[in-house]
Structure 1
Amino acid sequence: MIKRKTPIQKEMLLLKKQEQRFLERHQEKENSRLNRFLEDKIPDKLQETLEKAFSNAFKLIFVKGVSIIEKTYKKEELEKDFKIHDYANQIKNDRKSLKAMRKQAGSVGKWNTAASGAAGIGMGLIGVGIPDIPVFTGFLFRSIYQTALKYGYSYDTETEKKWILLLIQGATAYGEEQKKANEMVDAYLMDEKALDGCSLDKIIEETAGLLSKELLYMKFLQGIPVVGVAGGAFDVKYMKEITAYAELKYRKRYYRSFAEYDKI
């Protein structure tokens, strides 16, 4: 006799499929014609400048920026939303409640993505590339923080900061780099002590280095007036990728609290 799957098991199967599709897209990165065209036009120290800009943006947010970002949304309301959805999931144990939680959590990144894209395009129009990084980073962390709250998790401890940076790595890297970052992200889901031996400063530098490499061509393009609109538009692409990956992993983390997690 075939035993029917529970609602949470069905949702977990969907999650695994979505996660696998994301990972498959990041197995290998294609070198676009635009990148090949720009390759010999990039200033020698641009990547180093970008890396420093991202590193400074991360440190600024972690030291001073969390409280500022929290002023841009109603943290208490998001925490209440989680409690309501979590209670419904525990009591009703139906797929409708799980889907409602998933859809609400997935929607928080849409406004941030649109706002970041508008800012990136606006700065690209006047030829501003590097100064866009703090703005992009602020919207990015805002989106991740809201997603965390939607699934009932904090984001202000040192360990959570490490995990959030690894989420960014897992969403933007390709090949072996992506595989390694994804494994570290999942290791934390299995054991929250998995990142105890990792230095926050080191993960900040690794993440800044990865983003500077991935965004090198687009930020160069964004620094050219009018033409830079195309470069600024890529803020949308990376915001979508990172927030989608973060939502998958926070959802996976939440599902691990259910007894059926290992019974698919």
Structure 2
Amino acid sequence: MVLNAWQKEWNRMQRMEYAYIHKGRFKKNSKMTAFLSKKIPENMQNKLNKAFAKAFEVIFEKGTSIIEKTYDKESIDERFRDYKESADNKGDLSSLRKFPKSAGSSGNMNLLLSGGAGIGMGLAGIGIPDIAIFTGTMLKGIYQVALNFGYEYETEEEKFFILKIIEVALSFGKKLDEENSRLNRFIVDKSLPDDYEREAQIALSSASLSAELLYMKFLQTIPIVGVVGGAFNAVYMKKILKYAKLKYHRRFLLDHKI
């Protein structure tokens, strides 16, 4: 059987997704993590959970329009239409790979912003107050990935999709497998789960973030040493945006040709 370009791109996306899931099947805890676990205040993770949840709530209610002022939405929309027309007319791999390449370029700029902000906060010995900056930069990155594949982000369905991406991106083991499959079903069904409540999903996404960033945020509260913790903002941002690109790429291919 001879595969067309869309099918070849689908297979490539599937391989990248498998590699992401396979890598996340086992979580490795470093010696530093084991050491820091004895030093972190008991209530710090709870504070992180609340800080992330508050950031999501505020941005979803009134912050998206502010985030949109930091990039040219119309330009991204126009570029997507041009790329889509080219892909429909040519149907070759070169035209199809412009979409993930463009999404990746947008993400790289947000990685730089995240790392820079985190290092700056680390030098000052400020950990938790940068949660709003991190969350805003993360959502900006996901919004840009969505636009590069032709999707918006304002509806409740899209907010669920984004929150679920964040939750699953930082999961490990059996949960990663199960929730990735659940997200893939949503991509096909396009309907919210019967038991969906935004507050509950925000809590799940916030818990994933705080569990992964807990040790780095603690380091970030220590002047000078906090530079190390702040730099890890970009590491986690990269992981989230990589997974977001995979999920939007899957949606795009399913919705258009596969």
Normalised TM-score (structure 1): 0.95
Which runs of 5 or more residues in structure 1 are unaligned?
none
Runs of 4+ in 1 over 2 A off after TM superposition: 194-197
> Which residue of structure 1 aligns with residue 112 of structure 2?
114
- Deviation of residue 102 (structure 1)? 1.9
Preserved CA contact (<8 Å) 1:162 1:195: no
Report the secondary structure of 1:4's partner residue: coil
- 3-state SS of paired residue (1:215): helix
User: 1:242-261 residue pairs with structure 2 within 5 A?
Assistant: 242-259=240-257, 261=258
1:16-72 CA distance string (max 9 Å, x none): 110000001111111111101111101010000000000000001100110000010
* CA shift for structure 1 position 182: 1.1
Deviation per CA, 1:126-161: give whole Å up to 9, x if none.
111001110011110000001101111110011110
Q: Please state if 1:162 is matched with 2:187.
A: no
Does the alignment pair 1:4 with 2:2? yes
Structure 2 distance, partners of 1:233, 1:249, is 26
Per-residue CA distance 1:204-232 (angstroms, 9 max, x = gap)? 01111121111111100110000000101
**1:196: how far off?**
4.5
Q: Contact (CA 8 Å) 1:85, 1:101: kept in 2 or not?
A: yes
Note the residue ranges of structure 2 that are not aligned, 5 or more in a row.
none
In structure 1, how many angstroms separate the alpha carbons of the residues matched to 2:240 and 2:213?
13
Percent of residue pairs identical: 43
State the distance in 2 between where 1:237 and 1:51 align: 19
Written as runs of structure 1 = structure 2, the 5 A alignment for 1:55-204 is: 55-204=53-202
Match of 1:29 among 13, 27, 30: 27
The one-letter amino acid paired with 1:76 is E
Report the counterpart of residue 237 of structure 2 in structure 1: 239
Q: CA deviation at 1:107?
A: 1.2
CA contact (8 A) 2:220 2:227 kept: yes
Aligned 8 A contact 1:129 1:222 in 2: yes
Q: Distance in 2 between matches of 1:196 and 1:97?
A: 38
CA distance in 2, matches of 1:116, 1:15: 26
Structure 1 counterpart of 2:10, which letter?
M
- Residue aligning to 1:54: 52
Q: CA deviation at 1:178?
A: 1.7
Q: After alignment, is 182-191 or 52-61 more displaced?
A: 182-191
Number of residues of Structure 1 aligned to a counterpart in Structure 2:
258
Matched residue type, 2:232 = F
Between the aligned partners of 1:101 and 1:250, the Cα distance in structure 2 is: 10
Q: Note the C-alpha offset of 1:9.
A: 1.1
3-state SS of 2:128 partner = coil
CA contact (8 A) 1:172 1:214 kept: yes
**Aligned-partner SS, 1:226:** coil
Contact 1:218-1:232 at 8 Å conserved across structures: yes
Take 1:40 and 1:189, find their aligned partners in 2: how far apart are those partners?
A: 41
> Conserved in 2, the CA contact under 8 Å of 1:187 and 1:194?
no
For residues 96-129 of structure 1, give each alpha carbon's deviation from its aligned partner in whole angstroms, at most 9, with x where no partner exists. Answer: 1011222111111000011110000111111110
